[in-house]
Amino acid sequence: MSTKVRTADTRERILTAACEVIAEIGFEKIRMRMVAERAGVSTALLHYHFDTREKLFTEAMTHSFAHTAVDVDRDAETAPAAVVLARILRSLLPTDPELRQDWRLWQELWARALRDETTRAFAVDLYAQLHTWVADAVRRGIASGEFTPTDVDALSTLVLSLSDGYGIRLMLRDPTVTLDSALTAIWRQVSAALGLPDAVPVD
């Protein structure tokens, strides 16, 4: 294994461990030693890659989003546009244990962003990346003739806002909101804007 590959593998293990530990105990309680132990590396090696908790946190958030996007977009150029868009919507909600972990990371990000300007700017940038992700999927569908033309940016903002709102209720285990009802409600807005059937596409 080359040095470059080993370095990438080490960073991957550290970031995966950081996501797990931050989601479990929160950013304020985390210690670099905890992440190093979870990743199976020395504290010195962890500090070599990430010299501060703040840098580790932002890199972990970026890693989490990138990992989800790669999986969701695996066949974005060949799958029906509605299927890809529905897949994105599911990934924006806490639909499985991994995504529930991602949601805990986002909750830590929101809390910290309200108190720290650097984190606030990072959060705004991460939302911009999410917006682009949704918007690009909608534009592909419009370009292929699968979707009715619409205000893409407005729809993307609506999708993210609805996903945040329903996602919080789901994370709180609010008995009045289920995953199916949340997804159906969001898709209802999307399908109306894009001229699609009411039923959420099955992947």
The CATH architecture assigned to 1-51 reads Orthogonal Bundle (1.10)
CATH, range 53-194 = 1.10.357.10
Q: What's the pLDDT tens digit per position in 44-93?
A: 999 999 989 999 999 999 988 888 887 787 887 888 999 999 999 999 99
pTM: predicted TM-score of the whole model, two decimal places: 0.89
**10 Å Cβ neighbour count for 111?**
14
Say yes or no to pLDDT of 30 above 80.
Answer: yes
Burial string for 178-195 (b: 16+ CB within 10 Å, else e) reads eeeebbeebbeebbebbe
Q: What is the pLDDT, as a whole number, of residue 87?
A: 94
Residue 86 near residue 159, CB atoms below 8 Å: no
Q: Which residue has the tokens 């946190």?
A: 57
Q: What is the pLDDT, as a whole number, of residue 67?
A: 83
Handedness of CA 112, 61, 129, 184 (dihedral sign): negative
145: left (phi over 0), alpha (psi -120 to 50) or beta: left
In this prediction, residue 21 has a pLDDT band, given cuts at 50, 70 and 90, of very high
The set of long-range contacts for 49-52, using a CB threshold of 8 Å and a minimum separation of 24, is 49/10, 49/11, 49/14, 50/14
The amino acid present at 71, given as its one-letter code, is D
More confident residue, 112 or 76: 112
Residue 80 near residue 146, CB atoms below 8 Å: yes
d(CA 114, CA 117): 8
Q: What's the pLDDT tens digit per position in 122-177?
A: 999 999 999 999 999 999 999 999 999 999 999 999 999 999 999 999 999 999 99
Say yes or no to pLDDT of 3 above 70.
Answer: no
In this prediction, residue 7 has a pLDDT band, given cuts at 50, 70 and 90, of confident
How do the domains of the chain map onto residue ranges?
1-51, 53-194
Cα–Cα distances (Å) from 155 to 8, 83, 111, 135, 193, in that order, read 37, 17, 26, 8, 8
